[in-house]
Amino acid sequence: MAGWTWFNGEWRDESAPMISVNSQGVWLSSFIFDGARAFDGMTPDLDLHCERTLASAKALGLLPKQTADEIFGLAMEGVGKFANGTDLYIRPMYWAEKGWVAPDPETTTFAITVTENPMPSQSGFAAMFAPFRRPAPDMAPTDAKAACLYPNAGRALQYVRERGYDNAVVFDIDWNVAEFATANLFFAKDGVVKTPAPNGAFLNGITRQRMIQLMRDDGITVEEVTVSKDDLLQADEIFNTGNYGKVMPVNRLEDRDLQPGPFFRKARELYWDYSAGTL
């Protein structure tokens, strides 16, 4: 994997050091990031990812000094360092250098990294339920894409991978289905697409929102509802949306084999058509 990082006014090799272990962002977790994609010469919704970067920083008590447009410009500058069509992961990030437990907003620091990162296979993935819940908004900064939230997702992934699965279905505080450990969750039943309604337990993802809009504009009924474990076990098809793989099908849930279905195929087609229009 190769990449570039913009930090302190210059681009440098992505492996170059830029943060100390004594930074507040390292040892006290005042660290947020966002993730966007460049693939097939497209950067869909990059502007929205830049805007969310600022929102996440403010939610964690940081003081971003860049505008969304400035972050967008740096992102595109970084993309331009690679051959056209290279699959890339774009991550703007903020953290505080100082502060005792609470970050000192005046020490907010910015970097953006652009790295080669191939898009995953669209053949599908196996998922199972993990015995972990997403925190409620009064328990953690769930309105931010904050690094401190990811160890919880990480232990869910470890749990299912030890059992031969690729991704985990995690729950909200009331044991309703929230999302996959790494992406938002959709399923279809009897001709209707459903997805967990945002309740503060998980990020209402940018790709999730885009996918709902695209499907509804295409005449597909999409409902945001409370989803139980049984709802998912009885689904006709299941797929996810997220920045890393955009739209990916589930080919196995627990001990039940599934096939990529018509709603997944239509969702992927709609998203790629939309993305091509952003060139």
For residue 249, the Cα-to-chain-centroid distance in whole angstroms is 16
| Average pLDDT estimate for 155-174 | 97
* CA–CA separation, 4 and 151 (whole Å): 25
Q: What share of the chain is helix, strand, coil (3-state, %, to 5)?
A: 30, 30, 40
* CA–CA separation, 151 and 266 (whole Å): 33
Q: Which residues pair with 238 in a beta bridge?
A: 187
* CA–CA separation, 37 and 79 (whole Å): 10
Q: Domain 125-276 maps to which CATH number in 3.40.50.2300, 3.40.50.2000, 3.20.10.10, 3.30.1490.100?
A: 3.20.10.10
pLDDT in the model for residue 253: 98
Domain extents for the chain?
Answer: 3-116, 125-276
In terms of pTM, does the model score above 0.75?
yes
> What is the per-residue pLDDT across 54-78, written as a single tens digit (0 to 9) for each?
999 999 999 999 999 999 999 999 9
> What is the per-residue pLDDT across 112-146, written as a single tens digit (0 to 9) for each?
999 999 999 888 999 999 999 999 999 999 999 99
pLDDT in the model for residue 138: 94
Relative to beta strand 184-189, strand 125-133 is unpaired
> What is the per-residue pLDDT across 262-279, written as a single tens digit (0 to 9) for each?
999 999 999 999 999 865
Q: Which fold has domain 3-116?
A: D-amino Acid Aminotransferase; Chain A, domain 1 (3.30.470)
Beta-carbon contacts of 147 under 8 Å, excluding residues fewer than 6 positions away, are 29, 31, 32, 33
